[in-house]
Amino acid sequence: METKTRIAFGCDHAGFELKQKLMAAISDRFETKDFGCFSDNSVDYPDFVHPLAMSVANGQYEFGILICGSGNGVCMTANKHQQIRAALCWTKELGELARLHNDANVLCLPSRFISEATAKEILDIFLTTAFEGGRHKNRVKKIALM
């Protein structure tokens, strides 16, 4: 039996609706876990980002997907964790490069600035692009604090 790649999802109230749609769109291909939030009621995004980031950093999940209004808050919070390389992406090209060149393990999406169709394209390319390594490998190693 083939093991599915494990994907952790998290959001704030501005990202709730898009998170639900993206999780449904990939549930047949990936194992997903919802770290919240669980409604469109106002919440503080760090309450959901930190547990997700820890689960990706410790290897429980291969990738994390975080969504908030601008994508900035969730991205800044996730990047506080040493083993996290969170990338804010608003085009599929940025999603591809985040994986290809930066070995990003968390994708951050700005729900108020992209369509559902664009978000699905970014998510798909992010989850199907492998890290290129090569000249990028040493650079990525230098991201974590010494």
56-71 pLDDT, tens digit per residue, is: 999 999 999 999 999 9
Give me 54's structure tokens: 């820890």
> Hey, which bits of the chain come out as E strands?
6-11, 31-34, 63-68, 86-88, 106-110
What backbone phi and psi angles, to 5 degrees, belong to 34? Answer: -100, 110
Predicted model pTM: 0.97
List beta partners, residue 106: 64, 86
> Would you call 135 helix, strand, or coil by DSSP?
helix
Q: Which domains does the chain have, with CATH numbers?
A: 6-141 (3.40.1400.10)
Contacting residues for 95 by C-beta, under 8 A, at least 6 apart? 87, 89, 107, 121, 122, 123, 125, 126, 129
- The stretch 1-8 carries a mean pLDDT of 89
What pLDDT shows up at residue 146?
55
Instruction: Indicate the residue type of 125.
Output: I
The residues that are catalytic are: 68, 101
7-42 pLDDT, tens digit per residue, is: 999 999 999 999 999 999 999 999 999 999 999 999
What pLDDT shows up at residue 145?
72
